[in-house]
A and B are shown apart, each in its own frame.
Chain A
């Protein structure tokens, strides 16, 4: 499946994962740290890490579903 088709297939459920990733980053970081600056900084890093992980998984899935 083409990546454009994968992403443009209506309101893809993957978009729902972005706010979830934001919330998970914030709450997890808040449970680790106390200072607002530390929480926000660490949650930003965690959010980017989650995004990168999701991108890698998406890439792997696209690769595996090639020619299907």
Chain B
């Protein structure tokens, strides 16, 4: 068995390291070639999969919870395979927990979601670059971009959108996507108001950036998942396959770090002997010992023992028929 030949140090430590970072357990054990190979292959496969899926194929949803529009977030059983890669799985668990917090709700004011009336007032100030469209009554939508500023005010909100053409006052209705979601863009819809009466004359709809800490490895809801599948098509499926395979391959790497390889050094040829004067049956085996003993009798025959008998004696004295079970020197 290979365990005797390879110094696995503290196997469970190597296993944990291999789980957290593919190849790290082998580096800890001093098995640099395999550490580098595992790291390059598994991390490379995982990162390529993430790249194909726009860095969003890995997420965990514990239960089919509420999506942004009342639709359930998709269960992702494929995560069980992806989890083998380790660190991303830990982060995905954390993001899933953050996603399920009661405070992670979309801001909804004077709007109806698919479940009916639901008001979630704005609780924090938002200041970000906005790009989207503006729609006036009876006119086709026009693109618009600028600096969006929203702040809570008296259980409702105040807001402005500063564009190149001037400042728009926002009010009346508002929708802002939840803070934690697997989408780098956060959806915003708001009414554009005018005058003291704050009559809504238009509406804006678009996106603001979402911080990486709030979307990387975060759960996707149906809306985001459908968008990814629509845009990326089979590329997203390949992204899933790559990340699944990376996770499953790391299970092999973890096993190797804990238990050692299946065959270890058993494939290597036996070490060459330096001495040529004496025959060492332990190194050369039974047949060689028999041949050597037979040759010796032909040169110096004492007449008392026949060559076959001498050969048998030579084997019996120096070579055990049972293979040597002594472990080789620990590396």
Contact = CB atoms under 8 A, between A and B. Distances in A.
Interface of A: 13, 16, 19-20, 23-24, 26-28, 30-36, 38-39
Main SS class of interface, B: helix
Contacts, number: 72
Interface in B213-263: 234, 237-238, 241-242, 245, 249, 252-253, 255-256, 260-263
B238 A27 contact: no
Interface of B: 2, 5-6, 31, 33-34, 37-38, 41-42, 44-45, 48, 234, 237-238, 241-242, 245, 249, 252-253, 255-256, 260-265, 267-268
B261 A33 contact: yes
Contact of B262 (A23, A26, A32): A32
A38 B265 CA distance: 9
B234 A13 contact: yes
26 contacts: A13-B234, A16-B238, A19-B45, A19-B48, A20-B45, A23-B41, A23-B42, A24-B245, A24-B249, A26-B41, A27-B38, A27-B42, A27-B249, A30-B252, A30-B253, A33-B262, A33-B264, A34-B5, A34-B6, A34-B34, A34-B260, A34-B264, A38-B263, A38-B267, A39-B33, A39-B37
Given A32-B261, A34-B261, 8 more contacts: A20-B242, A24-B245, A24-B249, A32-B262, A34-B6, A34-B263, A34-B265, A35-B267
B245 A31 contact: no
